[in-house]
Amino acid sequence: MIAEILSVGTELLMGQIANTDAQYLSRRLSELGIALYRHTVVGDNPARVKQALGEALSRADIVITTGGLGPTEDDLTKQTVAETFGLPLAPDAKSLAAIEALARRAGRPAAENDRQQAYFPEGALILPNACGTAPGCVVEAQGKTVAMLPGPPHELKAMFEGQLAAYLARRSGTHIESRFLRVFGIAEPDLENRLRDLFHCDNPSLALYCAPGEVQARITALAPDGAAALGMIAPIEAEIRRRLGEAVYGEGMDGSIEGTVFELLRDRGEAVSFAESCTGGLLAARLVGVPGASSVFKESHVTYADAAKARVLGVRVETLEKYTAVSSQCAREMAEGARRISGADWAVSTTGYAGPDGGADGTPVGTVFIAVAGPNGTRVEEFHFQGQREFVRTLAASWGFNLLRLALLA
């Protein structure tokens, strides 16, 4: 089954809001074994909505629309679908009663435009809205299917999960399962070269997705059921892990390098502190964003000025004068000082030039030193990141977590 998503709303087209509905539906359709080839966004214009719907129906077996089901004049999705299939609009008694009851609870009578939400193309399967006023519906006509969902994300998700997902599962007859492996420290071109032969398989298939400092490898299999799909994925996943080793730091779409570090520290019963210069507290902020971080996090010191590095962390004045604050020697003393004063098992330090300027001695923007101090000594790494200031800071924080992860695994 081939699907297409048609999102209706001028606010989407103009970028006033993000199209999170399409993102959510894409993920869920994939899980249900339904192929999705296109997203289309169209404004609240009847002629353009009709044209976009016709084009989508020419390509797909099922079109899922979002938005345009409400009570205002520009909510014309149902009318457009009915016109496209040559179907009359007719009221549904249960939907009308529910809309009128909602209006009474709000202390007012239902207006005519409220009642319009209870009109559907003839023969439609109606999807009641448990979270709002506008019901959805499914129309099967002329060998095609159009499923109409409301635009507000909480209404759309509730309707999809409670009603439409089961309908689509019955229709698809197949299952798609995906496995996401999160890889840190290997650039996409290098990663592609290492896995090149695995891209030649059609089922399971392999795809790469980039993020700052890391890549997600997605393995997807199509099978009659979930167990069979997972069985097809397993040998490909094992081979990727064998080739990449410790560069694979996690699984799933929503993981993070700091989340992995948290789990390692928690499982070991250990804690970390930070000494940050160029990252300005970003390491601490990201770790605190992980639920339960208080069990593994001691404290953090943002020592931006040289005097603060000396006064708070005990960096020697001689080190700052001889090597400058952006040096492996300074990073080492920052990490060791943070570990000493906090009593943490581990400490991570960052110091460098995030931009817009580099060092007075010609050290380029993007030069960053990161140190990890732990029970078995201190490791310092030098990096030369490319990009704007915030990108450099993001990469520096991510690499700080990765170096700590590797130290915990050693």
Is residue 132 over pLDDT 90?
A: no
pLDDT for 73-129, tens place per residue? 888 999 999 999 999 999 999 999 998 988 888 888 888 888 999 999 999 999 999
Cβ atoms of 169 and 234 closer than 8 Å: no
pLDDT score for 171: 86
Q: How far is CA 2 from CA 41, 69, 74, 181, 291, in A?
A: 18, 24, 28, 26, 39
Q: What are phi and psi of 71, to 5 degrees?
A: -90, 0
The answer on pLDDT for 176 being more than 80 is no
Judged against a pLDDT cut of 80, whether residue 295 lies above it is answered with yes
Give residue 223's pLDDT band: very low, low, confident or very high (50, 70, 90): confident
Give the per-residue pLDDT at 77: 95
User: In 3D, which of 178, 306, 312 has the Cα closest to residue 236?
Assistant: 178
Q: Is the pLDDT of residue 166 over 90?
A: no
* Residue at 337: amino acid letter: G
* Residue 303, pLDDT above cutoff 90: yes
Domain boundaries, the chain: 2-172, 175-251, 257-409
Q: How far apart are CA 137 and CA 148, in angstroms?
A: 5
Q: What is the pLDDT of residues 190-215, one digit of tens each?
A: 999 999 999 988 889 898 888 888 99
Instruction: Give the CA-trace dihedral at 275, 211, 257, 242, to 10 degrees.
Output: -130
According to the per-residue pLDDT averaged within each range, which of 2-11, 200-209, 211-220, 251-260 is highest? 2-11
Average pLDDT rounded to a whole number, residues 233-258: 95
Assigned CATH for 2-172: 3.40.980.10
Name the fold adopted by 175-251. Answer: Alpha-Beta Plaits (3.30.70)
> For 38-56, what is each residue's pLDDT tens digit?
999 999 999 999 999 999 9
Nearest CA-CA partner of 300 in 400, 383, 402, 410: 400
Which one is the CATH code of 257-409: 3.90.226.10, 3.90.950.20, 1.10.150.80, 3.40.50.970? Answer: 3.90.950.20
Distance between CA 169 and CA 361 in Å, rounded?
A: 64
Confidence band for 31, pLDDT divided at 50, 70 and 90: confident
pLDDT on residue 284: 98
pLDDT tens, 341-383? 999 999 999 999 999 999 988 999 999 999 999 999 999 999 9
Contacts of 250 (CB under 8 A, 6+ apart): 181, 182, 256, 257, 259, 260
Please determine whether the domains at 175-251 and 257-409 fall in the same fold group of CATH. no
pLDDT attached to residue 241: 98
Could you tell me the pLDDT band of residue 253, with boundaries at 50, 70 and 90? confident
Mean pLDDT across 48-72: 95
Q: Which residue did the predictor score with more confidence, 31 or 28?
A: 28
Residue 36 has pLDDT above 90, yes or no: yes
Whole-Å CA distances, 137 to 50, 66, 158, 236: 17, 11, 14, 40
Distance CA 10, CA 14 (A): 6
Whether residue 130 has pLDDT greater than 90: no
Output the CA angle 363-368-371, nearest 5 degrees. 135
- Three-class SS of the chain: CEEEEEEECHHHHCCCCCCHHHHHHHHHHHHCCCEEEEEEEECCCHHHHHHHHHHHHHHCCEEEEECCCCCCCCCCHHHHHHHHHCCCEEECHHHHHHHHHHHHHCCCCCCHHHHHHHEEECCCEEECCCCCCCCEEEEEECCEEEEEECCCHHHHHHHHHHHHHHHHHHHHCCEEEEEEEEEECCCHHHHHHHCHHHHHCCCCEEEEEEECCEEEEEEEEEECCHHHHHHHHHHHHHHHHHHHHHHEEEECCCCCHHHHHHHHHHHHCCCEEEEECCCCCHHHHHHHCCCCHHHCEEEEEECCCHHHHHHHHCCCHHHHHHHCCCCHHHHHHHHHHHHHHHCCCEEEEEEECCCCCCCCCCCCCCEEEEEEEECCEEEEEEEECCCCHHHHHHHHHHHHHHHHHHHHHC
Q: Under a CB-based contact definition with an 8 Å cutoff, are residues 228 and 388 in contact?
A: no
> How confident is the prediction for the chain on average, in pLDDT?
94
pLDDT at site 228: 93
280-299: buried (b, 16+ CB within 10 Å) or exposed (e) per residue? bbbbbebbeebeebeebbbb
Residues facing 219 on adjacent strands: 179, 206
Tokens 């009642």 locate to 115
